[in-house]
Structure 1
Amino acid sequence: MQTEQLATKNIRQLLLELAIPSIIAQLVNVAYNMVDRIYIGQLANGTKAMAALSVTLPIITLITAFTQLFGIGGAPIAAIRLGEGNKEEAERTMMNSFVLLLLWGFILTIIILLFQKPLLYVFGANKETIHLGSSYITIYALGTIFVMITLGMNAYINTQGNARMGMMTVLIGAILNIVLDPIFIFQFHMGVAGAALATIISQSVSCFWVMLFLLSSKSTLHLRKKYIHLKYKTSLAIMALGISPFTMSATESLLQISFNNSLKLYAGTIGVAAMAILVSLWQFIMLPLQGLCQGAQPIMSYNYGAKNYQRVKDTFKLCLGLCVGFGLVAQVIMMIFAKTFVSIFSSDPSTIHFTSWALRIYLMGAGLFGAQITCQQSFMALNQPKISLLMAVTRKIILLIPMIYILPHVIGGTPFALNMSHSIASLVNNGGKTFSVLLAEPISDILAATITTTMFMRFYKKMD
């Protein structure tokens, strides 16, 4: 797609052309992430293995956070510069992102390899799960640079309006991961370590694909040696915009730590294992919403740079309606068929029963998350890093994480909490407090969606 079409083509048609490949890519990404957990859940020690995977998720999420800081943060800037007709600065931005991703990929690899066990204990590991968690994250860490380049630079493919090529990046890695997982996990008897090895091999192939495209004549933007030296102002601009998605992912890591440790205390290993499944199913809602927003981002960023504000508004309204609609439908389906979805990840009756119960509580506010993510991503697309950062912090740091620790002491012993947790009381240490930990998620989702939507509407009305 030519970037000029971002300014002229019918918005509904354009958004679908850009969003559908992004949504497919995100759904494939869901499968990508879920495959490891599905196979791991079928191991003889499936519940312990799933709990071990759960305690590695904060580290993996932190890697994603740094990827967004240096990669996702620069992509909207490049699109805005293209809208302004400044291709040179757009390419400088992309090359700065690439160098930062390489540098920090190396730094994070060293940190994880040196400090993995202390980190895993902080993140909710115990004697039952530390060995399995360590074997997984050791191998995964060796592929950190591949992961960061793949995700970070793929954003620059999407921001050019080439969503199909961006979809192929994810598709190639996902298919390869699905093929390699059973081979390494079961045929080579590597267990969780085999899942990690399959993942980094798949990501390395995707990384090669991304680099091949950005160096080819098919790309509007190209990686050029003359921009290899970091430019302070450019790097600062990338991080200023990337700090919002970085904070969202970094706080997601902190959130996973909070959930893991609280559930370990009140529900034991089964609670930590359930969290890995809840995160997987939450991604089934969140990642397609991100795909919709990624489809809208190039249109909004390009036209914001071109000062075509009505086109920005029309794109936002369409994206908002689609995101809220999808979020509500996905929420209802998943809550009705909770046991069916959970059974994909585990064959243990106790784990299935507990996690199905937990999922219905966890997702009660998921429908409104469509509004939250649309407004959050729109602030990013329109180069409003301060507001975007504030909204990112509000949901998790101000609302959710404090409630995870406060609610068990406030309502954990009430008749309401005890009644709501009656069906799982025999499986956990404290049913009422386990329920209260999970209830923090929907409360914060509803409150954060209300606040973020209100803030964006004020900004929206000021756009002329």
Structure 2
Amino acid sequence: MPKIQSEDLATLPINKLLIRQAVPASIGILVMSLNILVDTIFVGHWIGSIAIAAINVVLPVSFFIAALGMSIGIGGSSIISRALGANNKEKALLTFGNQITLTLILTLTLVTLGLFFIDNIIPAFGGKGDIFAPAKVYYRIVLYGVPILALSMMGNNVSRAEGKPKFAMYAMMLPSVSNLVLDYAFINLLGWGMQGAAWATTLSYGFSFSFLLWFFLSKHSELKINFKHFTLNFGIVKEITSLGFVTLSRQAVVSITYLLMNNILFNLGGANSVTAYAIVGRMLMFAMFPVLGVTQGFLPIAGFNYGAKNYIRVRHSINIAIKYASVLATIIFIVLMALPEYITKMFTTDIEVIKQTPNAMRWVFAATPIIAVQLIGAAYFQAIGKAKPALLLTLTRQGFFFIPLIFILPKFYGEFGVWVSFPIADVLSTLVTAYFLNQEIRRDLIAKTE
């Protein structure tokens, strides 16, 4: 794949540039998602269906803490992309150093608190009954590696911001491949059960961190920081946190959604319903990889060209990104509508879980063809540094629509009300995002080019 320099973000044709940015991002997300998928299949067949539910309880906690790194990475990367576009390299270097310091301080603090309150957190996220014991085993071990994961997620976004998506892809692939190998060794060969699954996940984070550390120290990265850049700068920290808060809020809402869904489904259908949701959740992570790849590829293109005041290229990048993402989302929709039974049987042999999961999967993905507008629209505001609209649009789907729906609809329609909440929230949030994105394009981009 041709090498991309940061200046190429302003010169290459948008079609070609988006493909070059999105393909590595998509492959990285695919491998990472495939890792989660296969990991769940291994756990389901080698340990049992309860183990799937146990991991589903732990994921929102560990991912929320790790998402601090992602949010700091995306927030800072928006600044870096625009700074490089405006030829302000010192600001880019200071931003990167501050990102590292912030990630370490926040994640180490939250991991300490998370381990201290372990017996309260796990039941709150649905780890009740038979699910509690395996969830506690998995939770304790996985949290040890979360700060390393957070640094990796932060560095991954920074490497993409400076126009190096291929290295970001490698950083996502390494822990995924190593996790699968370690899963097989620890669970199947050594028989370590949940401890094996947890240690495989934790140790795999180190591979990504080691690779990114090499990348930033090597000649491949333009961001060569020194000790002065690690000192927190109030203005930079404020800008990082305001933009990163968008991503963190999204992950916080995702974690809250898991908490609510696990508890609501446990009360409606017991552990089998929680397992069904875990399987559908894995497919949400896996199946959407090409759409998320386009979104990730779009971010530095929009941010760099906005910083360079090339507003025509920004408009063009929005249109192309939505078109590509919509086509990919429609293909995903067709496959999942046709094959939910086969997909479910990959995860488990539990008859009751196999009976209820396919119908749930069809409803959860029912509005998939239209979600590109929502994803690209929210990402655009984040890319150009407009934190407030980015935050509101990011929270629209799950915070403003989905969570209220899962409280209201199950009272009338039982478990079906939970599943139908997904497409309703997708449609409503897409309509809201389309309106605000159109207004912003007319008021900001078109007005500046006339």
Class of the TM-score when normalised by the shorter of the 2 chains: over 0.9
1:153-172 Cα shifts (integer Å, max 9, x gaps): 11110111111111111111
Q: CA deviation at 1:285?
A: 3.2
Residue 422 of structure 1 is matched in structure 2 by none
1:435 and 2:438 aligned? no
* Corresponding position: 1:458 with 2:439: yes
Equivalent residue runs for 1:214-363 within 5 Å: 214-363=216-365
1:93 to 95, 101, 112: 95
What is the TM-score when the length of structure 1 is the normalising length?
0.93
Give the Cα–Cα distance (whole angstroms) in 2 for the partners of residues 407 and 160 of structure 1. 45
Q: Is the 2:70–2:157 Cα contact (8 Å) retained in structure 1? A: no
One-letter amino acid matched to 1:6: L
Alpha-carbon deviations, 1:274-328, whole Å to 9, x = none? 1111110011233332211111111111110000000011111000011111112
AA matched with 2:136? S
Unaligned runs of 5+ in 1: 413-432
CA–CA distance in structure 1, aligned partners of residues 164 and 278 of structure 2: 33
- 2-side partners of 1:336 and 1:278: how far apart? 15
- Supply the distance in 2 between the matched residues of 1:362 and 1:91 (Cα, whole angstroms): 42
In 1, are the aligned partners of 2:126 and 2:266 still within 8 Å (CA)?
A: yes
When normalised by structure 2's length, the TM-score is 0.96
Amino acid at match of 1:369: I
Residue 49 (structure 2) aligns with = 47
Maintained 8 Å contact 1:214/1:223: no
Deviation at 1:374, TM superposition (A): 0.9
Deviation at 1:18, TM superposition (A): 1.1
Alignment equivalent of 2:17, drawn from 5, 14, 18 = 14
What is the CA-CA distance between 1:223 and the residue it aligns to? 3.1
Instruction: Report the Cα offset of residue 226 of structure 1.
Output: 1.6
Take 1:278 and 1:193, find their aligned partners in 2: how far apart are those partners?
24
Alignment-derived partner of residue 430 in structure 1: none
Q: Name the CA distance, whole Å, in 2 between partners of 1:193 and 1:334.
A: 32
SS of corresponding position for 2:202:
helix
For 1:53-452, list aligned pairs within 5 A: 53-409=55-411, 411-412=412-413, 433-452=414-433
* Pairwise CA distance, 1:352: 1.5
What is the identity, as a one-letter code, of the residue corresponding to 2:36? N
- 2:38 is paired with a residue whose SS is helix
Find the residue that maps to 1:129 and give its secondary structure: helix
3-state SS of paired residue (1:344):
helix
**Aligned-pair distance for 1:212?**
1.2
DSSP 3-state at the match of 1:236:
helix
Using the TM superposition, give the Cα deviation of residue 231 of structure 1 relative to its aligned residue in structure 2, in angstroms: 0.7
Amino acid at match of 2:441: Y
Distance, in Å, in 1 between the alignment partners of 2:68 and 2:57 is 19
Structure 2: runs of 5+ lacking an equivalent: none
Q: Residue 215 of structure 1 contacts residue 223 of structure 1 at CA under 8 Å; is this kept in 2?
A: no
Distance 1:194 1:215, change over 3 A: same
How far apart are 1:99 and its partner, in Å?
0.7
Deviation of the 1:80 alpha carbon: 0.2
1:201 Cα deviation after fit: 1.0
245-254 vs 346-355, which moves further: 346-355
The root-mean-square deviation of aligned C-alpha atoms, in Å, is 1.2
Identity across the alignment (%): 30
Secondary structure of the corresponding residue to residue 207 of structure 2: helix
Alpha-carbon contact 1:61-1:252 (below 8 Å) kept: no
* CA displacement at 1:181 relative to structure 2: 0.7
Q: 1:241 touches 1:384 (CA, 8 Å); kept in 2?
A: yes
Given that residues 143 and 200 in structure 1 are in contact (C-alpha distance below 8 angstroms), is that contact kept between their aligned partners in structure 2? yes
Q: Which amino acid aligns with 1:114?
A: F
Aligned residue for 1:128, secondary structure, equals helix
The answer to whether the Cα contact below 8 Å between 1:157 and 1:163 also exists between their aligned partners in 2 is yes
Aligned amino acid, residue 444 of structure 1:
A
Q: CA deviation at 1:402?
A: 1.0
| Aligned positions, number | 442
Q: In 2, Cα distance between the equivalents of 1:28 and 1:145?
A: 21
Q: CA deviation at 1:441?
A: 1.0
